[in-house]
């Protein structure tokens, strides 16, 4: 039985490792299957796929971590094994990239009220073409001396508690689920941890999610056990990964260690192969 990590970020979003380095690093950590799951983009996956297709040691499956609007709250949904060329996926990533930009501008306005002068151009430069996220804003705040550390930027200015309801134009959770399944993929609730009550998890299941991240570095043993029980009682895929961001900021030490058994990926594959049977002529419309 092999090891899989289905939660990895690259420079296409807020990761610090290039897609090609993610592949070589995964090989050196003896991972058998990985998914690159950047925030609201598949650009990292597409770049890594060109390299992974020539490597026998590793398999790369299509992945993305989509930010959805779950009744006014942002909810991270992982999606796997969808058809990357599907027009509805292309449309979703386009809408979400724009949403991230506008959301970044909104956050800058909130920070201006505290006397911090940031320009969206500085945030874009920090993101180097990747999708904009709060980590890039945190880095600019630190560069400009407004905070002493990345951590301080989050704790004092960028956390959900500090910002309140963050303006966004993301798809609703139901629309994300419909889009991904329509493109032959599966949807998994990311790092549920203490984020959701059981009732909220039930609501996500009723909306059609296929799986839940049981294994995640933020999960205590008790949470992991609860999520495993929840997955079993609701017949959900048991997924997981390291949420590696390629630096010491997020889960560096968990890469290659926080993994799932490749058997779980076989279940995911079986489910999505069924969904892809009826997909045809899906690439032309967008």
**What are the residues binding ligand AMP (CB under 6 A)?**
14, 39, 133-135, 151, 154, 159, 245, 250
- 83 interacts with, out of Mn ion, ligand AMP, none, CB within 5 to 8 A per kind: none
Instruction: Select the span of 93-101, 118-126, 241-249, 278-286 touching Mn ion (CB under 5 A).
Output: 241-249
For residue 133, give both structure tokens: 């996220």
In the complex, what is the shortest distance from the CB of residue 168 to ligand AMP, in angstroms, rounded to a whole number?
A: 9
What pairs with residue 74 in β-bridges? 69
- Nearer residue to ligand AMP within complex by CB, 75 or 227: 75
- 154 interacts with, out of Mn ion, ligand AMP, none, CB within 5 to 8 A per kind: ligand AMP
- Nearer residue to ligand AMP within complex by CB, 151 or 194: 151
* CA 72 – CA 191 distance, rounded (Å): 18
What value does the CA radius of gyration of the chain take, rounded to a whole number of Å? 18
* CA 31 – CA 118 distance, rounded (Å): 40
- For residue 31, count CB atoms less than 10 angstroms from its CB and return exposed for 0-12, middle for 13-18, buried for 19 or more: buried
**Strand 237-240 and strand 63-70: pairing?**
unpaired
Instruction: Give Cα 113 distance to the centre of its chain.
Output: 30
For residue 179, give both structure tokens: 């889009």
- 131 interacts with, out of Mn ion, ligand AMP, none, CB within 5 to 8 A per kind: none
Residue, CB closest to ligand AMP: 133
In the complex, what is the shortest distance from the CB of residue 245 to ligand AMP, in angstroms, rounded to a whole number?
A: 6
- 157 interacts with, out of Mn ion, ligand AMP, none, CB within 5 to 8 A per kind: none
Binding status of residue 136 toward Mn ion by CB under 5 A: no
Residues in contact with Mn ion, counted by CB under 5 A, come to a total of 5
In the complex, what is the shortest distance from the CB of residue 161 to ligand AMP, in angstroms, rounded to a whole number?
A: 10
What pairs with residue 3 in β-bridges? 261
- 28 interacts with, out of Mn ion, ligand AMP, none, CB within 5 to 8 A per kind: none
- Nearer residue to ligand AMP within complex by CB, 247 or 262: 247
* CA 53 – CA 127 distance, rounded (Å): 27
* DSSP code string of 108-166: HHHHHTTT----HHHHHHHHTTSPP-HHHHHHHHHHTTSSSSHHHHIIIIISHHHH-S-
- 68 interacts with, out of ligand AMP, Mn ion, none, CB within 5 to 8 A per kind: none
In the complex, what is the shortest distance from the CB of residue 141 to ligand AMP, in angstroms, rounded to a whole number?
A: 12
In the complex, what is the shortest distance from the CB of residue 40 to ligand AMP, in angstroms, rounded to a whole number?
A: 8
* CA 13 – CA 103 distance, rounded (Å): 15
Binding status of residue 76 toward Mn ion by CB under 5 A: yes
**Which parts of this chain interact with Mn ion (CB under 5 A)?**
14, 65, 76, 190, 243
């Amino acid at each position: 039985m092999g090891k899989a990590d289905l939660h990895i970020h690259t420079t296409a979003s807020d990761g610090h490792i290039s897609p090609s380095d993610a592949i070589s690093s995964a090989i050196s950590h003896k991972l058998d299957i990985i998914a690159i799951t950047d925030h609201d983009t598949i650009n990292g996956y597409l770049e890594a796929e060109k390299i992974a297709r020539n490597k026998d040691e590793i398999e790369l499956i299509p992945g993305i971590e989509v930010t959805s609007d779950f009744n006014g709250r942002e909810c991270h949904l992982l999606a796997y094994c969808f058809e990357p060329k599907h027009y509805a996926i292309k449309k979703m990533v386009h809408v979400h990239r724009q949403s991230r930009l506008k959301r970044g501008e909104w956050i800058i306005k909130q920070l201006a009220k505290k006397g911090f002068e940031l320009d969206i151009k500085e945030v874009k430069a920090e993101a180097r073409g990747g999708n904009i996220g709060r980590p890039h804003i945190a880095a600019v705040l630190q560069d400009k001396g407004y905070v002493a550390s990345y951590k301080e930027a989050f704790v004092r200015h960028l956390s959900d508690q500090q910002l309140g309801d963050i303006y966004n134009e993301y798809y609703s959770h139901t629309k994300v689920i419909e889009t991904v399944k329509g493109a032959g993929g599966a949807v998994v609730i990311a790092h549920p941890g203490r984020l959701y009550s059981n009732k909220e998890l039930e609501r996500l299941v009723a909306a059609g999610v296929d799986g839940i991240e049981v294994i995640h570095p933020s999960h205590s043993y008790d949470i992991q056990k609860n999520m495993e029980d929840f997955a079993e009682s609701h017949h959900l895929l048991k997924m997981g990964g390291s949420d590696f961001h390629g630096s010491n900021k997020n889960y560096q030490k968990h890469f290659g260690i926080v993994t799932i058994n490749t058997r779980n990926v076989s279940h995911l594959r079986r489910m999505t192969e069924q969904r892809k049977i009826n997909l045809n002529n899906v690439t032309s419309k967008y």
